[in-house]
């Protein structure tokens, strides 16, 4: 009986340009897809019952490797290694479903230098994401929720000393924001609410001496009288003593990622 079933399956298999389709029209075995105009190879890999399995290779028109995709979980998960046309790495990460980014994705410039590392949950940024300096130090760290900045963010001069810090709520700056000089003195500090300046803003020299004070109401400067009255009731003192640079408490243009098409 088993031999009869095997024979029937064999009979129903067909060939398309030397490649195999089963009786349901599903791709089986090793396949190559080429561009109909240039005849250049687009991808190659193996299918099982129409589902990609194992490692697939994708190519640029110059025949260099564009991506290596390792398919698992019946094709529902793909671990991607994307490359620039010069062969240097472009990105590393995981797709779920149909080209939906998930987990951690790491990006590189055309020289192969690390530029950013983002966390995703089903196609949307979720968690702490980093931008890096050319020497590998952190330039920025920002927390996301449901694809919007949400929570604390920090920017750095050199990976350690803070340039600025603050927080977002649902994509909008909210709360106290501070900008620093390289020597650690606050250059400017003030408040946001729902993405607009709201409340007092203080600007200082590199020695810590106050050079300007402003008052905002829902994104607009208050009148001179309102500003004077506010700061007379809420005085701000100069802090001109020498201060060590503030350190963190924690230690390019993008390209469109590969579009996977198995048609």
| Dist. CA 193–CA 220, nearest whole Å | 12
What is the torsion angle, in degrees rounded to the nearest 10, for the CA atoms of residue 90, residue 95, residue 99 and residue 100? -110
Every domain of the chain and the residues it spans: 1-136+252-263, 161-247
Main-chain dihedrals φ then ψ at residue 5, nearest 5 degrees:
-60, -45
| Dist. CA 133–CA 247, nearest whole Å | 16
pLDDT tens-digit readout, 97-136 = 988 999 999 999 999 999 999 999 999 999 999 999 999 9
Q: For residue 140, which of 250, 63, 40 has the smallest C-alpha distance?
A: 250
Report which secondary-structure segment, H or E, holds 8: helix 2-12
- In CATH terms, the fold of domain 161-247 is 2.20.110
pLDDT tens-digit readout, 14-34 = 556 658 998 989 999 999 999
pLDDT tens-digit readout, 243-262 = 455 665 544 444 455 555 55
Domain 1-136+252-263 class, CATH top level: alpha beta
- Is-contact 226 232, C-beta < 8 A? no
Q: For residue 169, which of 188, 197, 143 has the smallest C-alpha distance?
A: 143
């Amino acid at each position: 009986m088993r031999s009869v079933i095997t024979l029937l399956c064999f009979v129903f298999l067909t060939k398309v340009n030397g490649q195999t389709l089963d009786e349901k029209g599903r791709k089986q075995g090793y396949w190559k897809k080429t561009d109909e105009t240039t005849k250049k190879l687009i991808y190659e890999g193996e299918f099982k019952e129409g589902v990609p399995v194992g490692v697939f290779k994708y190519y640029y028109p110059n025949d260099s490797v564009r991506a290596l995709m390792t398919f698992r979980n019946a094709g529902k998960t793909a671990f991607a290694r994307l490359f620039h046309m010069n062969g240097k790495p472009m990105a590393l990460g995981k797709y779920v479903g149909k080209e939906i980014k998930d987990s951690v994705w790491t990006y590189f410039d055309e020289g192969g230098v690390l530029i950013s590392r983002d966390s995703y949950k089903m196609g949307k940024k979720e968690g702490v994401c980093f931008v890096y300096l050319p020497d590998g130090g952190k330039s920025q760290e920002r927390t996301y929720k449901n694809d919007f900045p949400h929570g604390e963010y920090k920017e750095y001069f050199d990976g350690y000393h803070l340039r600025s810090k603050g927080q977002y709520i649902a994509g909008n700056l909210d709360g106290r924001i501070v900008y620093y000089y390289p020597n650690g003195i606050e250059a400017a500090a003030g408040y946001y609410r729902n993405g607009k300046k709201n409340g007092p803003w203080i600007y200082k020299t590199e020695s810590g001496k106050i050079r300007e004070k402003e008052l905002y109401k829902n994104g607009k400067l208050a009148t001179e009288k309102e500003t004077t009255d506010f700061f007379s009731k809420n005085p701000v003192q100069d802090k001109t003593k020498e201060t060590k640079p503030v350190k963190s408490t924690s230690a390019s243009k993008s390209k469109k990622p590969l579009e996977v098409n198995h048609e």
